[in-house]
Structure 1
Amino acid sequence: DGIAANGSLYGSEFKSDDAMETDTTVLRDFEGATALSANASLAERAIEPALVMFEVHVPPSCSLDGVHSQHFFGTGIIIYHSSNMGLAVVDKNTVAISASDVMLSFAAFPVEIPGEVVFLHPVHNYALIAYNPSAMDPASASVIRAAELLPEPALQRGDSVYLVGLSRNLQATSRKSIVTNPCAALNIGSADSPRYRATNMEVIELDTDFGSSFSGALTDEQGRIRAIWGSFSTQVKYSSTSSEDHQFVRGIPVYAISQVLEKIITGGNGPALLINGVKRPMPLVRILEVELYPTLLSKARSFGLSDEWIQVLVKKGPVRRQVLRVKGCLAGSKAENLLEQGDMVLAVNKMPVTCFNDIEAACQTLDKGSYSDENLNLTILRQGQELELVVGTDKRDGNGTTRVINWCGCVVQDPHPAVRALGFLPEEGHGVYVTRWCHGSPAHRYGLYALQWIVEVNGKKTPDLNAFADATKELEHGQFVRIRTVHLNGKPRVLTLKQDLHYWPTWELRFDPETALWRRNILKALQ
């Protein structure tokens, strides 16, 4: 069981001579029409068997985590292909949540099969999608191959790369580009309705590309993957009441992808997930739940950074010449109430840090057993004073949100990371966050809108979804219900609505890792 490089997985399967001849003819014709195009670069021909187009549909009842659309398209890369499992990687602006219907169309052969979301990285902008190779016929499986990831050496300014991707009609396209900035720090603000945004990430910028809607991969001349060319979502605000969604593309280094891929193949340290009928232990990612941003050392000097530390940080990162500062801590994290906005992070476990990857490496060291606890020893500069702090880390899986309840037309869930990144959770309870509401529902008519927490139902506290489900099961059709809420801005509110179980029964949608299926359960309906 491994990466299939020669497509010989189905060699023992019996087929008639006529069928074999037909498959061979179709395969030869298709290869001649695509990969052997006279204008195709060597990198394009090498990577085309690993290119795949994603078509993603988010059902209206599954609009979780502030997802901003129901249809997405994007190019992904096959990074693992064996007899019983295939894995493709794509950006999270294409596959934003796990409750998605995903279809994969391959560039190497005209075949379309379904995929399932198996891993959403909690920080980096990528998702892993599994597909079942046995759903393909031998002709298509023989030409589809996994790309080779090349995380080292890291790209440098001035390096030549090939930008390769797919058009909507599944035609491979490539161009040669130059890396202008291999370590550009992202700074994406929160949207009006909080949704995933890339934080603590350095991305790759090129001198030329194919525009903001073209995604794919950055390869070397042999077609080895140096980075994913992924799409990022942002919201441009023109005024307090006017905003517009935009997207842009940047390169995502593959080192974080290769680390997770290895753990999935060899067996991770987290709960098992059923993938194509086989239970596989999935990886857990240890992170410091703090949003950071870089500041130039020339600016940091005016904030009290000493010459000695400037020399140490210049020696550590001669290209970046920066120091990391705290923008905020995720509410409910172990770092909350320890780190403050504006703190400069100088060292972790006595080792100087100048980029986000240094923090990630320190977190991964904890899992390797080099330290006896799950804490990081941070050296920080706060208001001119150097401090030593012991800060805890958090482990996160790649499942995303796995449970949602629809009550009276409002959709509630646990607060996702984009909400927690705002730095506030109500003390009364923060497990019932309203992420959506439906037109014409009781929630709509009585003003129970999104972006708030339900902390009480008829005087009963609802600190989590279990307590909320128990409280709403006791409510009858036509009953008036008193709700206490707390908004994202911290303002409390009390309202009353009339329950309508005839048109708006209470139900939950929950992901079952044992069967890898989403199940809809009716919690309360009109008898």
Structure 2
Amino acid sequence: MKIMELELDPEGAQVGVEIKLLGNHAREKYSFLSALISRVDRNAPEYGGYSDFNTNYIQAAAAASGGSSGSPVVNAAGKVVALQAGRRKGGWINYFLPLYRPLRALQCIQNDRPVTRGTIQTQWTIEPFDECRRLGLTSEWEEHVRKMAPKETGMLVAKIVLPEGPADGKLQAGDILLKVNGELLTQFVRLDDILDSNVDQKIRISIQRHGKDLDVYCIVGDLHAITPDRFVSVAGGTFHDLSYQQARLYAIACNGVYVCEAVGSFKIDDDTTSGWIVDSVDKRLTRNLQEFIEVMKTIPDRSKIVIAYRPIQYLHMTVTRVIDLDRHWHPMMSLAVRNDETGVWNFSGIANPIPAKPPAPQKAEFTQLGGNSQTATAEIVRSFVRVSCTLPLKLDGFPKTKTTGCGLVIDADKGLVFVSRAIVPHDLCDINITVAESIIVTGKVVFMHPLQNYAILRYDPGLVLAPVRSAQLSTEYIKQGQGTIFVGFDSNLRLAITKTTVTQITTGIIPVNASAPRYRPINIESIMVDTELSTICTSGVLLGEDGIVQAFWLNILGADDCEYNLGLATPSFLPVISKFQQGVIPTLRILNMERCVLEMSDARPRGVSNKWINEVAKADPSRQQLFIVGNLGRPLSFAHEDDDLRVGDVILTLNEKLITGVSDLDIMYDNEVLDAVIVRNEQEMHVKVHTVPTKDIETDRAVVFCGAVLQKPHLAVRQQISKLPSEIYVSARSRGSPAHQYELSPANFITAVNLVPTDDLDSFVQEVKKIPDNTYFSLRCVTFDNIPWIMTMKKNDHYFAMSEYVKDTSSSPASWKVITDEASMAQGNITADAMDVERDDC
């Protein structure tokens, strides 16, 4: 195909000239809009954090909308006089970029000359003569300018002069530019030309300040030198020297280390992702990127270090934080350098991780509750620990990367901690357990209950020289109306204690998160208490007067990131906890279904006989309920093929035990097959119900490909979907990746690669390895609502090499390892940090 070039004619942009705008108006291909140029001296509009400045814009009422940015603006002769740059929202006005400097850059490239760019780190704006008079422009100078440039309506005025720049202390905001090197200047085009031609040279600038003529001399700086051409990735974060754009936006000196992507160790919270200047790391100054690199090279993995930083929009406030340096999930410190010959960024490894220092035992004492005479609450404090969880990869639809809460020590001798799954959602994580607000030890996940919203962690008790106490758990179910002591921790982990009463015990149903399924407990009985603390405390216990824990108080993450706080009675957890206390890791089996409460008034129309209704009334007079199958999870690959139960079945007994409460379902834990009596279609019948093992339910593998996190459909997906299209589920994607660019969204399934069926991760990995780098391929996908569709994507191994995260179950507790694609490594590709994956529900 022969490509035609368009001639650039910057002089053709004049007021009154008729133009045609060629582009994709409203994102529709090939639109042609007409207009007349109305202004050529408009200041560049402020679009936000990254905007043009020190240039005039051209204005016309072209009515172009999104989709035409960068399109050529041509005159009647077919010459390009400007480029479409922006529009005023809600109006017909469009703004165009003049072509003087783009044409000069093009000519330099065509002639193999460097494109020099000069700057004195000063932002100028075009101000009308009346504003210049108010700033002190004398009538003599105004008359002279109008005479020498009769078409001009204003002059250039300094708006921002950056500290420590070439013009600092010489120019001030409000200075009116008269001449540069003796030449009268009223337009950006000549000012740019002089600066670009005098890099590292001294120039004379004539200004008028409050009616006084002044001459100042400045050394023109190199704009390329203050435009970052490299960045470093370490411990999940991405850093570069502060750019001129950011410095100009906030009128600050153009130096310092800027955090452009705060992920991993540098993710302070879920709301802060960028925008700091790092002043020091580990008590050592980091005034520029090279100093920062040298400091980071010396810090071992898992070190706790202090960083001092300032938010760029609030520089007079210095913030210090203690962070855990992660060099195991993010082992390589890599440097990316822009290659102007190839147009890509070249990555190189600059430092391998230093192994973590072995932990040493530490001593501490628990704080005493002031003014509290209750022995029960005073003792329970020694059973609480703080649990901090860092999640390096978005798995199982969980939206956060850092969580913190309180856990309860259930066995101090073995170092066992009970904690909510809203704090530890899966075991691909780093866990720190803080004892007595002083000692920090590493924790590992040893068990995760698939239904009841808790995990059990283990730490090395030999490292803790503190009087930690094992909490005593009640074997009796707490009852409605019973008095109790509420001991809870709010979101800031501050302790709150009050006496209260149990107001309600009900079968809880947590709403599903429809857009991105995530873990939620099912088949639980929730406890509510009569205190406002229950709404603000996310973890804690309900305590008897004798100091025995009657219920755990846990937070649960529900739909739309809404958190629910509720109590769960301790006896329902004892079958599992008791085995751990005996030194046995339980291997449970569960019924792969979600039940709903069936009141007796609804039981009769469904075919439940009076005999069973009377049996229920005798067995459980306080509740008088049965359970109905509300939903069946999709079978796991190892599950029984037939659905033993069906939605709508009323469960009467399991192994001859009448089922009226959630605790009655504990019989499923140790039985592969249950004899059930049910009512189906108003007919009472006996069926064999198969349970499924829990050991393989949790996610044990993830593949990161082109920025998409792919995994086997986790339990929440299987609970919410009616049919699994494949076992390749998109859990998350990285911003800026091919998956994001080509809109491979989370909660989709991949069924084929280049028309080759791929039912599982093994077949998918096998097929995508055949695809050459930088080539297009197709993916057949199915939405969560079972709608098939097809897409194309371009493979990019340079920036988004494939990697896998695999759980090693041979160790106890299980650990994860990272496997990088061998083909990519063989090509020498050290890429950007593949762990920088953010969930995107758009």
What TM-score does the superposition give when structure 2 sets the normalisation length? 0.52
Q: Is the 8 A contact 1:232 1:249 kept in 2?
A: yes
User: Among the aligned pairs, what percent are the same residue?
Assistant: 30
Distance 1:346 1:354 in 2: 8
Q: CA RMSD for the aligned pairs?
A: 2.3
Match in the other structure for 1:216: 540
Given that 1:228 and 1:253 are in contact with CA atoms closer than 8 Å, whether structure 2 keeps it comes out as yes
1:113 aligns with 2:411: no
Distance apart, 1:322 and its partner CA = 0.9
C-alpha contact 2:634 2:724 (8 A) present in aligned 1: no
The equivalent residue for 1:347 is 653
Task: Compute the displacement of 1:522 (Å).
Answer: 0.7
The verdict on how the C-alpha distance between 1:169 and 1:421 changes in structure 2, with shifts beyond 3 A counting, is: closer
Partner secondary structure for residue 212 of structure 1 = helix
The DSSP-based 3-state class of the residue aligned with 2:759 is coil
Is 2:97 the counterpart of 1:97? no
Residue equivalent to 1:186: 508
Distance 1:169 1:388, change over 3 A: closer
One of 766, 773, 778 as aligned partner of 1:477: 773
| Residue of 462, 465, 476 corresponding to 2:761 | 465
Deviations 1:46-101 (A, max 9, x none): 10111112222222xx110010222222221011122xx41111111111111122
Q: Does 1:313 align with 2:616?
A: yes
- Counterpart residue type for residue 418 of structure 1: A
Letter in 2 for 1:72: T
AA matched with 1:525: S
Distance in 1 of aligned mates of 2:448 and 2:535 = 22
Contact in 1 for aligned 2:450/2:521 (Cα 8 Å): no
Would you say the 8 A contact 1:329–1:335 is kept in 2? no
**Secondary structure of the corresponding residue to residue 311 of structure 1:** helix
Q: CA–CA distance in 2 between the matches of 1:41 and 1:460? A: 68
Partner SS, residue 720 of structure 2: coil
Deviations 1:219-278 (A, max 9, x none): 11232211110011222xxxxxxxx4221211112234332233234354xxxxxxxxxx
Counterparts in 2 of 1:76-87, with a 5 A limit? 76-82=407-413, 85-87=414-416
**Amino acid aligned to 2:370:** S
Per-residue CA deviations over 1:320-361 (Å, capped at 9, x if unaligned) read 111101111101154863422222111222332112221222
**2:477 aligned with 1:154, yes or no?**
yes
Name the CA distance, whole Å, in 2 between partners of 1:307 and 1:37: 58
Q: Which residue of 1 aligns with 2:577?
A: 261
Q: 2:732 aligns with which of 422, 427, 436?
A: 436
Q: Find the counterpart in structure 2 of residue 273 from structure 1.
A: none
Match of 1:250 among 547, 551, 566: 566
Aligned to 2:820: 522
Matched to 2:546, the amino acid is Q
Q: Partner of 2:381 in structure 1? A: 48
- Give the superposition deviation at 1:445: 1.4
Paired residue type of 1:376: L
- For the pair 1:420 / 2:718, whether they are aligned, the reply is yes
Q: 1:347 to 1:435 in 2, by over 3 A?
A: same
Distance (whole Å) between structure 1 residues aligned to residue 601 and residue 641 of structure 2: 28
With normalisation by structure 1, the TM-score equals 0.82
Q: Distance in 1 between matches of 2:543 and 2:641?
A: 38
Residue 607 (structure 2) aligns with: 304
Whether the aligned pair in 1 keeps the contact of 2:675 and 2:686 (CA below 8 Å) is yes
Q: Counterparts of 1:373-392 in structure 2 under 5 Å?
A: 374-392=672-690
What is the match of residue 326 of structure 1? 629
Q: 1:69 to 1:365 in 2, by over 3 A?
A: closer
Where does the alignment leave 5 or more consecutive residues of structure 1 unmatched? 1-22, 236-243, 269-281, 367-373
**Residue among 443, 450, 454 paired with 2:750:** 454
* 2:468 equivalent in structure 1: 144
In 2, Cα distance between equivalents of 1:109 and 1:234: 29
Which has the higher Rg, Structure 1 or Structure 2? 2
CA distance in 1, matches of 2:696, 2:569: 19
Give the match for residue 339 of structure 2: none
Deviation at 1:169, TM superposition (A): 6.5
Letter in 2 for 1:178: T
Give the equivalent residue in structure 2 for 1:284: 587
Match of 1:231, as an amino acid? Answer: N
Q: Which of residues 452, 455, 460 is equivalent to 1:127? A: 455
